[in-house]
Structure 1
C-alpha cells in the first residue's frame, strides 16, 4: 500500500467535482454568448427591413419617384414575413401595394383594389401610406426590436450591489 498523505487524497477527491463545475460554468457562458449573438443578428435583420421600408417611404415623399421606391417597399414586405408579427407585415404589404399601384406599371392595372381611381388618386394613396409608414412603423415594430436581455454581472459587481444594499439598511434610523 502506498503512503499518500491524506491531504493529497482529499485534493484528488475534490478535483473531479471542481472540474465538473468549471466545465458547467464554461458551457453555460458559451450558451449565453451564442444566445446573445442570435438576438443581435435578429435585431440587425429587423432593423434592415425597417430601414429599407423607411427609405422607400422617404423616396416617395421627397422625390415622388414611385418606380424607384417600389423595389424597396416590396423587399421590405417580403422579408418581414418571418421576422415580424402580422400587424407589421400587414402594414408593409399595404404600403408596397399602394406604392405599386402608383407606379407606371401599376397604371396598367387600374382596377386593382381601388377600382375607378385615377392615377393621381393612387399616387395620393401612396403618399399617405408613406406618411403612415414614417409615423407608425417604428411604434408597431418596437416590441420586436427590444433587446431586453441583461448583461451578466461580474462577481465584483454583484458583491458591490449587495454591499450597497446592506449599507442602505444600516442608514435607517432605529430610534436609538
Structure 2
C-alpha cells in the first residue's frame, strides 16, 4: 500500500514533466481563475507548458524514487540510487500531456498549478531515508482531488 501511494504520486508527477505542444507556438496568457474544463486545446497545452520547468525532476531525484520503489531498506536503496545515477539511461519522462482529463474539471488553472508544483516539491524532497508512511499527496492537492479526481487517480493526466 505504501509503495502504491508513492507510485501514484510518482506517476502523476512524471507524467507532466514533458507535456505540452511541440509545435513551437507562442505562449498565450491564461486566466488563472479559468476552469480546466473550459480551456481550449491551445490553453490546455499552455497549462502543460507552464508546468514543464517547475515539475522537472533532476536525475538524482528520479533515482531516489527508483531506489525507494525497488528496495526494502536504506542500504539497498542507496545501492540502487548509485547504479541509477551512473546508468546511461535518460531520466524518466512522459512524452504527452493528457489534457483529455481536463474535460468537465472544475479545478482552476491556479489550483492545478499549485497542486502539481507541490507534488514536484514532495518528490524532490524524497531520499532513501524517507518514510513511506509519511508520504501523502500534498495538502495543496486536496481541492484538486475533490473537484477533479481523474487528474490524480491514474497518473495519466498529471
Tell me if both proteins adopt one fold, taking TM over 0.5 as the criterion. Answer: no
Give the TM-score normalised by the residue count of structure 2.
Answer: 0.25
- TM-score, length basis structure 1: 0.23
Q: Which has the higher contact order (CA 8 A, sep 6+)?
A: 2
Going by fraction, where is helix more abundant, 1 or 2? Answer: 1
